[in-house]
């Protein structure tokens, strides 16, 4: 929460909240204590924020869809009386989660269908998603993986982890492993080290990534011991999940700065949420504040079609409007990619405003962020044609996995005239 002078504040003093009045500062700053003492029921929650009897009933009913678990740290940031508080909307269930729409899907991204072994989703050619726990520091109410998040509130069993590691070992095309869950940083250091060490020793794994909400909801987890552990497995990239400027506090800023000082490249993935951050002003404030603490805005996700999330979903047009108000109006480093993770396992599709207005044989008319139209001259016929870049043939032979024979690449090289799906319907017809 940046004040007008750029400083941060911390929400309420936890000792002023009856639930934690006898808690010591040492306990409060212990991530194990924070995790053990998450708010999981209505009775505890009512000691932190104001709830009507109707809200209490709706919360209890919603817990049948996705459990509630809010770290004391994050709960203390909630406005106790403002029901539109973005911290509260992220953390506290409402009756709207019980409303199902025809377009809602249990597993909208088809992660389960693209899972060759439990815990692994292998959709893209050279990278996989590896779920090592279903526990989170806090269960966000907009969670796309709500069908399984918090199901056991525990790390994955060792046999599941080992099967996932063995799958990676037997898949030489995999060069990039993303650890997720749940939240990988909620597991113990020993368990995390086991997973990282096994993956790191696989020759074809070039990089590891961690998707974690810990800097947002459990910043106490970023300890010297954790930093030392993670530092042994470079290159390791960490993406976190700030949705609103009010989630940026002294504690979360310090956690991110510790990670950055430790040599980790930090990115942020926000979800576009109606009534939370679907505003060009709010999103601009967020991305600028993120850069100030060395976190690169990476993605803005369109809210997925998971069951019970219709009240959070905005139009894609709203996302495009936000992007129009970022590009050119703030640093390019602060401009994330707006993504629709398409239903049915189609994968991530970037959505941008249309800056190409028109084309002819030699000219492209472009529109800039101000609405100015500019002509760009393309090469003439005598300059066109594919020429192999020096050193490319050697790389093609040495690293055949770099050659993309799908999509438009063979067409652009002139190697093929048409690229068609193998099961193209019109080819199946009898002539």
Instruction: Catalogue all structural domains in the chain, each as residue range(s) with its CATH number.
Output: 14-93 (no CATH), 120-350 (3.20.20.70), 385-428 (no CATH)
Task: Label residue 145 exposed, middle or buried (CB < 10 Å: 0-12, 13-18, 19+).
Answer: buried
Which one from 89, 107, 134, 140 is the annotated catalytic residue? 140
**Interatomic CA distance for residues 338 and 349, integer angstroms:** 8
pLDDT tops 80 at residue 339 = yes
Which one from 143, 246, 284, 303 is the annotated catalytic residue? 143
Which one from 123, 191, 274, 294 is the annotated catalytic residue? 123
Q: Identify the CA nearest to 251 among candidates 3, 8, 2, 5.
A: 8
Residue 3 has what pLDDT? 45
Residue 304: active-site member: yes
- pLDDT tens-place string over residues 295-309: 999 999 999 999 999
pLDDT tops 50 at residue 1 = no
pLDDT tops 60 at residue 201 = yes
Residue 258: active-site member: no
Residue 348: active-site member: yes
Distant-in-sequence, close-in-space partners of 297: CB < 8 Å, separation ≥ 6: 267, 268, 270, 286, 287, 290, 291, 333, 334, 335, 336
Residue with tokens 């004391």: 72
**Interatomic CA distance for residues 344 and 292, integer angstroms:** 37
Comparing 264-268, 349-353, 369-373, the range with the smallest average pLDDT is: 369-373
pLDDT tops 60 at residue 401 = yes
Residue 145: active-site member: yes
Which one from 88, 89, 141, 145 is the annotated catalytic residue? 145
- pLDDT tens-place string over residues 69-116: 999 999 999 999 999 999 999 999 999 999 999 998 888 888 888 899
Q: What is the mean pLDDT of residues 325-348?
A: 94
3-state secondary structure string, the chain? CECCCCCECCCCCHHHCHHHCCCCHHHHCCHHHHHHCCECCHHHHCCCCCCCHHHHHHHHHHCCCCCCCECHHHHCCCCCCCCCCHHHHHHCCCHHHHCCCCCCECCCCCCCCCCCCCCEECCCCCEEEEECECCCCCCCCCCCCCCCCCCCCCECCHHHHHHHHHHHHCCCCCCEEEEECCCHHHCCHHHHHHHHHHHHCCCCCCEEEEECCHHHHCHHHCCHHHHHHHCCCCCEEEEECCCCHHHCCHHHHHHHHHHHHCCCEEEEEEEECCCCCCCHHHHHHHHHHHHHCCCEEEEEEECCCECCCCCCCCCHHHHHHHHHCCECCECHHHCCEEEEEEHHHCEEEECCCCCEEEECCCEEEEECCCCCEEEEECCCHHHCCCCCCCCHHHHHHHCHHHCCCCCCHHHHHCCCCCCCCCCCHHHHCCC
pLDDT tops 80 at residue 8 = no
Q: What mean pLDDT is reported for the chain? A: 90
Which one from 73, 90, 136, 284 is the annotated catalytic residue? 136
Residue 5 has what pLDDT? 44
Which one from 124, 194, 233, 298 is the annotated catalytic residue? 124
Residue 123: active-site member: yes
Long-range contacts of 197-201 (CB under 8 A, 24+ apart): 197/233, 198/165, 199/130, 199/165, 199/168, 200/233
Strands 120-121 and 127-131: antiparallel
Query: Would you tell me the crossing angle of helices 189-200 and 158-169 to the nearest 10 degrees?
Result: 20
Residue 85: active-site member: no
β-bridge partners, 121: 129
Q: What percentage of the chain carries pLDDT values higher than 70?
A: 90
Long-range contacts of 18-27 (CB under 8 A, 24+ apart): 18/47, 19/44, 19/47, 19/48, 19/72, 20/72, 20/76, 23/72
**Interatomic CA distance for residues 269 and 281, integer angstroms:** 17
Residue 124: active-site member: yes
pTM of the model: 0.89
Which one from 167, 304, 307, 338 is the annotated catalytic residue? 304
pLDDT tops 60 at residue 395 = yes
What tokens does 177 get? Answer: 């492993």
Which one from 258, 274, 348, 367 is the annotated catalytic residue? 348
Residue 341: active-site member: yes
Q: What is the mean pLDDT of residues 183-208?
A: 97
Residue 140: active-site member: yes
More confident residue, 395 or 226: 226
Distant-in-sequence, close-in-space partners of 210: CB < 8 Å, separation ≥ 6: 178, 179, 180, 184, 185, 230, 236, 237, 238, 239
């Amino acid at each position: 929460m940046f004040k007008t002078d750029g400083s941060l504040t911390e929400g309420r003093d936890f000792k002023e909240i009856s639930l934690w009045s006898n808690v010591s500062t040492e306990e409060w700053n212990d991530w194990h204590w924070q995790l053990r003492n998450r708010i999981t029921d209505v009775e505890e929650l009512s000691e932190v924020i104001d709830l009507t009897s109707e809200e209490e009933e709706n919360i209890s009913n919603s817990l049948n869809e996705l459990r509630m678990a809010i770290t004391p740290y994050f709960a203390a940031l909630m406005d106790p009386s403002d029901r539109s508080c973005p911290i509260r909307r992220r953390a506290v269930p409402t009756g709207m989660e019980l409303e199902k729409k025809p377009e809602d899907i249990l597993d909208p991204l088809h992660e389960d269908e693209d899972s060759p072994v439990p815990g692994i989703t292998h959709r893209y050619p050279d990278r996989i998603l590896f779920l090592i726990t279903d526990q989170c520091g806090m269960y966000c109410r907009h969670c796309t993986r709500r069908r399984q998040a918090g199901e056991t509130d525990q790390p994955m069993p060792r046999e599941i982890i080992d099967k996932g590691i063995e799958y990676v070992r037997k898949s030489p095309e995999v060069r990039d492993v993303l650890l997720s869950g749940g939240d990988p940083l909620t597991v113990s250091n020993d368990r995390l080290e086991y997973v990282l060490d096994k993956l790191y020793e696989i020759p074809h794994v070039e990089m590891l990534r961690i998707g974690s909400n810990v800097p947002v909801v459990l910043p106490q987890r970023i300890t010297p011991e954790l930093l030392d552990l993670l530092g042994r497995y470079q290159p390791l990239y960490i993406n976190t999940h700030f949705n609103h400027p009010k989630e940026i506090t002294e504690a979360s800023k310090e956690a991110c700065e510790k990670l950055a000082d430790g040599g980790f490249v930090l990115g942020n993935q926000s979800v576009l949420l109606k009534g939370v951050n679907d505003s060009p002003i709010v999103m601009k404030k967020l991305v600028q504040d993120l850069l100030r603490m060395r976190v690169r805005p990476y993605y803005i996700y369109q809210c997925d079609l998971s069951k019970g999330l219709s009240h959070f979903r905005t139009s894609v047009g709203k996302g495009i409007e936000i992007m129009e108000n970022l590009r050119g109006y703030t640093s390019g480093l602060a401009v994330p990619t707006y993504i629709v993770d398409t239903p049915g396992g189609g994968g991530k599709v970037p959505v941008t405003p249309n800056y190409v207005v028109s084309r002819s044989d030699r000219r492209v008319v472009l529109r800039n962020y101000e609405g100015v139209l500019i002509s760009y001259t393309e090469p003439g016929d005598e300059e066109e044609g594919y020429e192999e870049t020096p050193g490319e043939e050697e790389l093609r032979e040495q690293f055949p996995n770099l050659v993309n024979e799908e999509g438009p690449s063979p067409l652009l090289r002139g190697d093929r005239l048409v690229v068609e799906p193998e099961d193209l319907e019109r080819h199946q017809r009898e002539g």
